[in-house]
Amino acid sequence: MRYRKLGRTGMDVSAYCLGAMMFGQAGNPDHDECVRMIHTALDSGINFVDTADMYSTGESEEIVGKALRGRRDEVVLATKGHFPLEEGPNRSGNSRRWITRAVEDSLRRLDTDWIDLYQIHRPDESTDIEETLSVLTDLVRAGKIRAFGTSTFSPDQVVEAQWVSERRALGRFRTEQPPYSILARGIERHLLPVTQRYGMGVLVWSPLAFGFLSGKHRLDRPVDMSAGRPALKPTHFDTTDPAVRRRLEVVERLVEVADGLGCTLPQLALAFTVAHPGVTSAILGPRTPAQLADALAGATLVLDDETLDRIDEIVPPGVDLYDPLATTPPPALEPGRRRRPRDERAVA
């Protein structure tokens, strides 16, 4: 397993991070099997585990907490907060009130005294970024978190947060967690240059492109729409859509590249993401032991320049073949905000 510095935090993390989103009712409800998978990952050399309070409504954090008993010091543990876990006002967002409670609840579920990396799961327009940075800085000083970062922030939001940190003498966001894969390379255009400029660590999610690079979905083969990713988002796998067929055609070409290297398509996809100098770690999101085993088997795969050039020919740098954030469009693009009447005075 390869290790890298997590931005400028001084912490060493594995190039592959074990993501726990599929642990619990949303993926694998067998706690014992999930614990064994976490142990398998740790035994293979992974020392970086990422979860979130919203994954299976806290169940994922509880599973991770069980698995790390007696092994906590081996792991750089990351979790996230922002989304509501229950109904009612003041139970979500990035305010001091909610983040303080969310961290305490995560510490309890994870059965730990500290969180190595606490991430803000999404931006919150209703909360001043200074408010969020202030509470996170206080949580570091209190010893409850070691560092903090963001997830799915835009380049301008990253820059604004860094500027506010400097002007207000507050702690900085040290990491960002964006979507990135061979089929969704948009972050190469602006986000990765920004995070590199500020020395931020980058953990990328969905390296298998929402399942398109898993090897299960191939051109002119029927897609099982009853389970897994297709059941969650059927339109994403509608083969009558020309854009979907285009992605499947690209998959066939990538399979040829993987076959030439003697690896699987998922192994190629993961190795591609960590080849970018701006990426620290790729998040694995296994649901089954077999999926984890395949990913771990390719952990030593390093793509040479010739292979990377071939991939660039298939999907050019900076190009998205689908929108990885289609389910969470920027608030500024909401219909009610695109054509609001301006506050203007008529001039006679």
Residue 86 maps to a domain? yes
What is the domain range of residue 132?
A: 3-217+265-336
What Cα–Cα distance (Å) separates residue 65 from each residue in 50, 57, 79, 144? Answer: 12, 14, 11, 16
Residue 348 maps to a domain? no
Q: Alpha-carbon distance 201 to 264, whole Å? A: 27
What does 296-322 look like in DSSP terms, one character per residue? HHTTT----HHHHHHHHHHS-TT-BSS
Residue 196 maps to a domain? yes
3 state DSSP class of 22: coil
The structural domain count of the chain equals 1
Residue 225 maps to a domain? no
Residue 148 maps to a domain? yes
Catalytic residue among 55, 118, 180, 322: 55
Return the CATH number at 14.
3.20.20.100
Q: Alpha-carbon distance 298 to 216, whole Å? A: 17
Residue 243 maps to a domain? no
pLDDT at 169: 98
Residue 63 maps to a domain? yes
> Model pTM greater than 0.75?
yes
pLDDT at 250: 97
Residue 254 maps to a domain? no
pLDDT at 38: 98
DSSP one-letter code for 112: -
Is 55 a residue of the active site? yes
From first to last of its 348 residues, what are the pLDDT tens digits of the chain? 999 999 999 999 999 999 999 999 999 999 999 999 999 999 999 999 999 999 999 999 999 999 999 999 999 999 999 999 999 999 999 999 999 999 999 999 999 999 999 999 999 999 999 999 999 999 999 999 999 999 999 999 999 999 999 999 999 999 999 999 999 999 999 999 999 999 999 999 999 999 999 988 888 776 666 666 666 676 777 778 899 999 999 999 999 999 999 999 999 999 999 999 999 999 999 999 999 999 999 999 999 999 999 999 999 999 999 999 876 767 777 777 766 666 555 555
Which tokens in the block code for residue 234? 């059927």
